[in-house]
Amino acid sequence: MKRILAVVAIIGLFSSVAFAGPINVYQVTGPVMEVTSDMVAVKKGKDRWEIALSPDTKVTGDLKVGSKVTIEYHMTATKVDVKEPAKAEGTPKTKTTTTTTTN
């Protein structure tokens, strides 16, 4: 019985890591401005969006300049630089006032 519980606990642990959460899917729609073997450029408003293509990218239809397309994509970080927080310069200065009284 203890072995079964241990196996179930281990499977639960690994399955929770595997299902940590879905990666968001985004999309952009517009006319194709340029197509290369590894990139497609789409005009979105006044902006040019360049989306990378991989051998796993599924393309339906004839992808060519001028075609209106909707591209689904994921954002993936390629590098993360963590910056140290700015250090406070000394201790905060307090304002002192001097009062002079005359008798």
Is-above-0.85 flag for pTM? Answer: no
| Cα distance between residue 11 and residue 15, in whole Å | 6
Q: Where are the domains of the chain?
A: 24-77
Amino acid at 16: S
Does the structural domain 24-77 have CATH classification 2.40.50?
A: yes
DSSP string for 48-102 = EEEEE--TT----S---TT-EEEEEE----S---PPPPPPP-SSPP---------
Report the C-alpha gap between 41 and 48 in whole angstroms: 6
pLDDT digits (tens, 9 = 90+) for 55-89: 999 999 999 999 999 999 999 899 999 999 887 77
Query: Residue 99 pLDDT more than 90?
Result: no
